[in-house]
Amino acid sequence: MRKLYAERRDATIAYWENTCALPQPGGVRLILRFKGLQADRDLFARMHTEGPYAEALSDWSMLGDGAPAVLFNFTDVDLQHTAEKLGQRILKLL
C-alpha cells in the first residue's frame, strides 16, 4: 500500500508543482497552498458543492488564523491523468 499511495501522491504533486499551488505531503493527504488564495473557506464551500472534496485548513487551526490552504485527499488518484483532471476542476473553482 505504501508504494501505491506514494505513486498516487507523486502523480498529484507533479501536477500541482506545475500550476499555482505549493503542495506539502501529509499522510494520504496534501496541503495545497494556492498563490494568491485569500480565503480557504470560500474555496472549500465551492469544492464542497462542485467537488472534489477537500477541507479548509484554517478550520483545523486552533487559533483560526492559519494560512489559507486546503487539505486534499489523493487516495482516489490512480493515474497522472486523474490527478490532472481533478486539478483542473479545482483550478476552475479558484
Which residue in the block uniquely carries the three cell numbers 499522510?
A: 27
Which helix (H) or strand (E) segment holds residue 26: the answer is strand 21-26
Beta-strand relationship, 70-73 and 21-26: unpaired
CATH number at residue 64: 3.90.1150.10
- Which pLDDT score is estimated for 65? 67
> Could you tell me the residue range of the domain that residue 69 belongs to?
2-93
Domain count, the chain: 1
- Which pLDDT score is estimated for 25? 62
Q: φ and ψ at 26, to 5 degrees?
A: -155, 80
Q: What is the pLDDT of residues 11-65, one digit of tens each?
A: 888 888 777 666 666 667 888 888 887 888 888 898 888 888 888 888 877 776 6
